[in-house]
Amino acid sequence: MSKKWKLSMLGIGLVMPSFLTLLVLVIYPVFLSVKESFTNGEGQFSFENYIYIFTELLIVQNIRHTLFVTVISCIFVLGIGYLLAVYLRFSNSAVSKWINKLYFIPMFIPGVIAVYGFINFYRDNGWVARFVGENNLPPIIYDVKGLLMINIWFNIPFTTMLLVPALQAIPNSIIESARDSGAKKLQLFTRFILPLSYRTMLIAVTFLFMGIVGSFTAPFLIDRNAPQMLGVSMQQHFAVYNELGQSSSLAVFMFLMCSFVGFFYIRSNLSHSKKRF
């Protein structure tokens, strides 16, 4: 055997465990879900599951509710996380140093514990209600406002953690040269900081969208009963109503939505690579 052949076989051997794991845990279940979504109750090929999810009023409302919560959550998380990352990058105050050490702590709190703590804090007779008065606190638990708040709380640390290194990679010489040329703070942000951190923002939005659109724990415990997030609706169709085909079609639909968002991220990476070469 030639040396080139041995190296090729070694490379295949190193990649094969990861590929088999991906095949068993991801590709095969996705294939089964797609197959089941096109199968009716008699085991025949049919589009009735997709007709159901796009014509049933409750499911259509669930889709709208999911997109609304996801988009609004992404906007707030990205805006707050980006402002926080900019502050941590360009501030040397004692407050920024403490925030830089503590902002990622929520990432290490289990989701269920965080949600139950949120419920005890903001429910009708919770700690906040005792402080401001039960009649003065707007409904937060079992309402879309509570779901948006917990989504923001969960995702700001991860988003900030992605953006801070991207901002730190911007050389100080660029900022100082722009300032020496008379650029104001708004011009520094729009012409230098934002363009140089745009790709990382796109990565953050991609992960945010995928994480929120298919979330289950927070919507199940905090959101209202109707309309529901698609993750909760899919679980109910599978476990409560025993509708495997309908739950599979919902899963495929969520996968397509995430793929649509991921397409722009991949397209941006490809265009960036072409510009480099």
Query: Range of 143's domain?
Result: 56-276
- With tokens 């009023």, the residue in question is 57
pLDDT digits (tens, 9 = 90+) for 48-74: 999 999 999 999 999 999 999 999 999
pLDDT digits (tens, 9 = 90+) for 131-148: 777 677 788 888 899 999
Q: Report whether 13 contacts 206 (CB < 8 A).
A: no
SS3 199: helix
pLDDT band for position 120 (50/70/90)? confident
Q: Give 12 or 78, the one with higher predicted confidence.
A: 78
Residues in contact with 81: Cβ distance below 8 Å, sequence separation at least 6, in sequence order: 155, 156, 159, 160, 163, 204
CA distance linking residue 27 with residue 22, whole number of Å: 6
CA distances in angstroms from 40 to 43, 191, 205, 245, 258, listed in the order given: 5, 55, 36, 7, 25
As a whole number, mean pLDDT of residues 168-189 equals 82
Q: Is residue 45 part of a domain?
A: no
Q: Is residue 262 part of a domain?
A: yes
pTM score, whole prediction: 0.85
- With tokens 């729009």, the residue in question is 190
Q: Is residue 11 part of a domain?
A: no
Residues in contact with 31: Cβ distance below 8 Å, sequence separation at least 6, in sequence order: none
Q: Is residue 15 part of a domain?
A: no
Q: Is residue 12 part of a domain?
A: no
Q: Which H or E element spans position 32?
A: helix 28-37
Q: Domains in the chain: how many in total?
A: 1
Q: 151: alpha, beta or left, given left = phi > 0 and alpha = psi -120 to 50?
A: alpha
Q: Is residue 34 part of a domain?
A: no
Q: What is the CATH number of the domain that holds 200?
A: 1.10.3720.10
CA distance linking residue 118 with residue 105, whole number of Å: 16
Q: Is residue 28 part of a domain?
A: no
* Diameter over CA atoms, the chain: 81
Residues in contact with 265: Cβ distance below 8 Å, sequence separation at least 6, in sequence order: 202, 203, 206
Q: Is residue 22 part of a domain?
A: no
69-87 b/e with 16+ CB inside 10 Å = b? bbebbbebbbeebbebbbb
